Amino acid sequence: MRDDVAIVGIGQSEFGRYLPISQLGLGAKALQAALTDAQLERKDIDGLSLHMGWPLGADYDRMAEVYGLEVDYVHQSWTHGRFVTSSLQHAVMAVACGMAEVVACITAISFTRELSILGGPGDPEGMREQGATHGENPVYGLTSPAVGAAFALQRYMALYGATSAQLAAVPIALRKHALLSPYAVMKQPLTLEDHQSSRMVVDPLHLFDCSLITDGAAVVLLTSAERARSMPNVPVYVAGMQGVRSGRSEFIFAPPGLGINQQPASPTTPRERDLAVYGRAGIGREAIQGFYTYDAFSPLVLFALERFGFCGPGEGASWVQGGRIELGGELPVNTSGGLLSEAHVCGWNSICEMVRQLRGMAGPRQIAGAEALQWGTCWGDSVIMRR
């Protein structure tokens, strides 16, 4: 399936806080923008892959009804970072398998109206049978995904001597990128002192290690590479993919081998099976010009870099120093600011940014000559895109 499917349209709503518009309203704006971008009409869309819905907002059927869509393929994952990649991958697979010709990936979220889902009595995850999987345990007052990232970071710091001041290089880099994005919610520079003096949320996570809580929507339209070549935009090809990793070696917010929950406590990154995406894409890691990842919490960026072998186990905190992950550096990361500084649109803002980069239309953020970019998460799934 290498290069069989392409992204031909992207669209975003405005990103902000306490926006007066509904989730479906934000989604409609992003969909209209994507259709305009691709020069397609609503009737051209015959597939949906939603990264939204219960327990946050409308499901696919209500969306299709409200938007006046008629589709023959639907995939839906709930609004959860772990499902961003698979939502994109289901769209690719649907096109590659001939189940749909044009699939719209849609996410729309009003986090500022749905704060309780991110922790607290309204957190339905923690009290499920078997509990939740970011370390939540309400019996001990643990209720937000933040606690899982904090457990992982604390152990990482203890094992490898990494420091919070080193970690600050991640949010500082992404803030620099956000200042170049017209869509970004954050408009002020972030200094090391700002980071270190910001309040603790869950020790060792400072405020600026945690993603923004924002409202916004993003849409990505995919079709066959063949059709894409006759469309107006430079096609962005899906070169290779690999799925989410799961098993007793995994904790969602830690690299394999860190020893969180029941993970073995011996570092194993990079594992051969986590490098499959490079072979499938026919693009080696050394050819990746920018890395995009789910940065809900700043340590997740380190863990993703280590999982894919950009650096060794425990080396992430020192590897990101000196501007290495900033625009102009060796491996720019999340060049529009990510969840930490552009907006929390469940990662789709970064996927839209990858498409802009590969079209050569990222303006002041442009990676010169961008031909191959990687999306990869600390839980191991990945999509490599090329122009």
Binding site for another protein (CB under 8 A): 119-121, 123, 126-127, 129-131, 135, 137-144, 146-147, 150-152, 154-155, 158-159, 199-204, 248, 259-262, 265
CB 340, min distance to another protein, A = 17
CB-wise, 47 or 145, nearer to another protein? 145
C-alpha to C-alpha distance for 260 and 133, rounded to whole angstroms: 11
For helices 60-67 and 23-38, give the axis angle rounded to 10 degrees.
60
Q: Name the minimum Å distance from CB 381 to another protein.
A: 22
Instruction: Please give the Cα distance from 354 to 262 (Å, whole number).
Output: 35
The total of other beta-carbon atoms located within 10 Å of residue 364's CB is: 10
Closest to another protein by CB, 205 or 219: 205
Q: Report the distance separating Cα 252 and Cα 300, nearest Å.
A: 10
Nearest approach in angstroms of CB 203 to another protein is 4
Pick the closer one to another protein by CB: 9 or 316: 316
Transcribe 85-136 into DSSP letters: HHHHHHHHHHHHTTS-SSEEEEEEEEGGG-GGGGSSTT-TTTTSTT--SSS-
In the complex with another protein, which residue's Cβ is closer, 139 or 368? 139
Alpha-carbon distance values, 260 to 119, 250, 267, 363 (Å): 20, 8, 12, 41
- Angle, vertex CA 81, rays to CA 79 and CA 85, nearest 5: 100
| Nearest by Cα to 183 from 385, 23, 15, 63 | 15
We find the least distance from the C-beta atom of residue 260 to another protein, in angstroms, to be: 6
Of the two residues 150 and 221, which places its CB atom closer to another protein in the complex?
150
Per-residue CA distances from 288 to 48, 237, 274, 292 (Å): 29, 14, 15, 11
The residue (of 204 and 290) whose beta carbon lies closer to another protein is: 204
Q: How far is the CB of 139 from another protein (least distance, A)?
A: 6
Question: Least distance in Å: CB of 208 to another protein?
Answer: 14
